[in-house]
Amino acid sequence: MNDTIFVALSTFAAEDRRPLDLLESSGFPFRIHQTGKRITREELIRDGRDAKVIIAGVEPYDSLTLAQLPSLRCISRCGVGVDAIDLHEARKKGITVANTPGIPTEAVAELALSMILSLSRDLIRQTNLMRARKWERITGHLLEGRSVGIVGFGSIGKRVAQLCQAFNANVLGYDPFLSGSTAQSMGVRLVDMKELLQESDIVSLHASKNSEQPLKLGPSEFASMKRGAIVINLARGEMIDESALVDALKSGHIAGAGLDVFPQEPYAGPLCDFEQVILTPHSATLTVETRASMELLCVKNAIGFLQGKLTIDDEKRVI
């Protein structure tokens, strides 16, 4: 029986050899994607066609792709989100999907806080002025005393709330699955989406994808926000209407934005032209420590599946 593991990640074991060492010591045959870039559909089908397990990144595993991977029985996703995987089709084909929840929480939350602080103090504009040899002092804002609206209270949203509270910010929360008692115990004021947008100085998106009630900030949502508000999106690219955000930035109604995710990636759109926008290339989890831990768990998931030891109750990793 073919028990090949194919690593489809753009980089693997780049800063820490432990995931690669574990693969090598497992005794299972494996191959690694070597281009250093996100794998294309054609490369995935060609190089992963005989693989029983694929260690996956953010490349799509839709019905068309899955149909051309006949040997595939497990997708070990390096990350939390599984939006790129057609879970219904995977179940039909008997493909197990495992991810790495919990590990990226700190990295994503720290990036959100970094963006909030940088935009609050207008650091990019100040740095650019200094590089142009211009001594121009710019007034910024403290995080203390400001209202931060967090949309989505999974592990990341909760950690962002804690970090903002450490700066004495007032935290508002919206999550239809969060109880009032839980919010109260966290020192978070639970509100509806309309109130959150109207009252927040900073809105930070950390919601998961919900097909029944899709979240999207568009023209009316931006118009309802405070003038001078800041928007952070480290959740899903489609949760922000790009053209509406561009208009709100041009008018000055929105003072700044920090984005790590985009509807189409790689991104090279009009938001690249705004000095008051921080853009990162879907790299929220890309720290040496986080990446190594996720890759190591991905390899453990892959080996565990091939050994028949990965179960649905295994730390709730299996979708």
Which residues, including other chains, have CB under 8 Å from residue 177's CB and lie 6 or more apart? 153
Q: Tell me, what amino acid is at 198?
A: Q
Residue 319 within a domain: no
Residue 313 within a domain: no
The one catalytic residue in 24, 144, 265, 289 is 265
Q: Is the pLDDT of residue 210 over 70?
A: no
Residue 96 within a domain: yes
87 and 114 inside one domain: no
Q: In the prediction, which pLDDT does 83 show?
A: 86
Per-residue buried b or exposed e for 243-262, using 16+ beta carbons within 10 Å of the residue's own CB? ebbbebbeeeebbbbbbbbb
Asked about 141 being catalytic, the answer comes back as no
183 and 230 inside one domain: yes
Q: Tell me, what amino acid is at 211?
A: S
Q: In the prediction, which pLDDT does 315 show?
A: 45
The answer to whether 71 and 51 have CB atoms below 8 angstroms apart is yes
Residue 317 within a domain: no
Of residues 316 and 139, more confidence is placed in 139
Give the number of other CB atoms < 10 A from CB of residue 28: 17
The mean pLDDT value for 302-310 works out to 95
235 and 112 inside one domain: yes
Q: How confident is the model at residue 199 (pLDDT cuts 50, 70, 90)?
A: very high
Q: Which domain holds residue 269?
A: 105-279
Residue 311 within a domain: no
Q: Is the pLDDT of residue 313 over 60?
A: no
pLDDT per position as a tens digit, 85-107: 999 999 999 999 999 989 999 99
- Please state, in angstroms and rounded to a whole number, the distance separating the CA atoms of residues 36 and 316: 31
The one catalytic residue in 33, 77, 146, 282 is 282
55 and 115 inside one domain: no
- Please state, in angstroms and rounded to a whole number, the distance separating the CA atoms of residues 4 and 51: 5
Residue 169 within a domain: yes
Tell me the CATH number at 53: 3.40.50.720
Q: Tell me, what amino acid is at 212?
A: E
Residue 85 within a domain: yes
Q: How confident is the model at residue 212 (pLDDT cuts 50, 70, 90)?
A: low
116 and 200 inside one domain: yes
119 and 40 inside one domain: no
**Region for 79 from its dihedrals, namely left if φ exceeds 0, alpha if ψ lies in -120 to 50, beta otherwise:** left
Q: Tell me, what amino acid is at 204?
A: S
The answer to whether 288 and 15 have CB atoms below 8 angstroms apart is yes
Q: Is the pLDDT of residue 251 over 50?
A: yes
Give the number of other CB atoms < 10 A from CB of residue 24: 11
Q: Is the pLDDT of residue 204 over 80?
A: yes
Report the chain's mean pLDDT, rounded to a whole number. Answer: 94
154 and 261 inside one domain: yes
89 and 111 inside one domain: no
pTM, whole model, 2 decimals?
0.86
DSSP string, 111-174: HHHHHHHHHHTTHHHHHHHHHTT---------STT-EEEEE--SHHHHHHHHHHHHTT-EEEEE
Q: In the prediction, which pLDDT does 316 show?
A: 47
242 and 142 inside one domain: yes
146 and 224 inside one domain: yes
Tokens of 96: 């197990």
**190: which strand partners?**
173
The answer to whether 224 and 198 have CB atoms below 8 angstroms apart is yes
- Please state, in angstroms and rounded to a whole number, the distance separating the CA atoms of residues 210 and 51: 31
The one catalytic residue in 33, 146, 159, 236 is 236
Q: In the prediction, which pLDDT does 319 show?
A: 52
Q: In the prediction, which pLDDT does 312 show?
A: 55
Asked about 146 being catalytic, the answer comes back as no
170 and 78 inside one domain: no
Asked about 265 being catalytic, the answer comes back as yes
Q: How do beta strands 96-98 and 147-151 pair?
A: unpaired
- Which residue stretches of the chain are H helix? 18-26, 41-48, 63-67, 87-92, 105-120, 123-131, 155-166, 180-185, 193-199, 219-224, 242-251, 288-306
Percent of the chain with pLDDT over 90: 91
Count structural domains, the chain: 2
174 and 66 inside one domain: no
Q: Is the pLDDT of residue 166 over 50?
A: yes
Q: Which of 219, 230, 224 is nearest to 195 (CA)?
A: 224
Residue 275 within a domain: yes
